[in-house]
Each structure stands twice: as C-alpha cells, then as structure tokens.
Copies of this chain bind each other. A is one copy, B any other.
C-alpha cells in the first residue's frame, strides 16, 4: 500500500521555522551538491499533501519547480474553495478521508510537505507511516514546532540515522504496525 512520509528539517530543539517563516537556520547545513537524499526521496512519490500557507510560501520562495512543474498531484489543504489548476487540487474536505482514499488508490508514495498544522492533523489520526527528520545542530529557542501538544501516543520503529559532515543528522523511522501498538 502507498505510504505517507514526512521529509523535513528541524532544529535540535524541535522547530521547523523561526517566527515569520524564517528558515535561515537551514543555511547552516547548505552545501554545494548535497541534497540530503531529497531527490532520491521525491523519486519515490507522486503525490504531495500540503497546507495552503506552506504551498503559497513555497510557490513564492522556490517556485513551481518544487512541485515538479505540475507533474505531481498536489493536494493543497485549505478552507477556501478554489478551482483545480492542472494537477493542483485545492481540497476543503476531511483530511482523513482524503488520505484513506489516496492510500486505497494505486500510485507511488505520498509526501506530506507541511506545514505543522497539516502534519499534526495527520499525526493525530495515526496517518503518517514514515518520518524522515533532518536534525540541524542549532537551538533556535522559539518558533514553529514540528510536533504540537495533544496527539495520541504512537510507537515508531527506528530505521537509520545518517550523519553528514555539516553536522546534520537524518533520522528515519517507520510507524509500528497497529497490533504491535496494542501491546504497549
């Protein structure tokens, strides 16, 4: 079955951005020719789920290349109805139903590209199968947290920890299957 993955960078103290969408801490680990496995990861997916604010931010700051110039299905989670543009769908329905439908369909994997609200909504319902978290060696002190308070406890299985000479550590976990969860 298709899985839903996070692939995201956070500071050692758990923030994915400083206030005002400030991502400048990512510059600490920028290195010519090093994408920390991002291309390899995106080759395994054909669908992106993303919050509306993050979608707008990415379009403005990076441009449509981030979405493979329209060659992927993009579900933008929003409260404002808007017509589909190419393969970009502005989705105002129930996110759990969306994920269940997508998972039942054939296709490559699904990438939840943020922001924190959409991620936490999926986590609340146990819908994230795989976490790939790049830990940046800095304490930011405040900002937007990757993990918000108020989710159910959920076991994960450790897969790998990759280290890089920039000091980035990439932690990879997959969700434990449900009957294992029942035994904790």
Residue numbers of A with Cβ under 8 A of B are: 12-14, 25, 28, 123, 131, 133, 135, 137-142, 145-147, 149-158, 160-161, 163, 167-169, 171, 173, 184
Contact = CB atoms under 8 A, between A and B. Distances in A.
Chain A contact residues, majority secondary structure: mixed
Contact of A139 (B12, B140, B156, B160): B156
A14 B154 CA distance: 13
A163 B158 contact: yes
A138 B171 CA distance: 13
Contacts of A167: 156-158
Nearest to A160: B163
Q: Lowest 7 A-B CB distances belong to which pairs?
A: A158-B167, A13-B147, A141-B151, A14-B14, A139-B154, A142-B149, A137-B156
Contacts of A150: 141-142
A164 to B, nearest CB: 9
A42 to B, nearest CB: 23
A110 to B, nearest CB: 19
A139 B161 contact: no
A123 to B, nearest CB: 7
A148 to B, nearest CB: 9
A112 to B, nearest CB: 15
Nearest to A166: B158
A137 B133 CA distance: 12
A138 B163 contact: no
Nearest to A164: B158
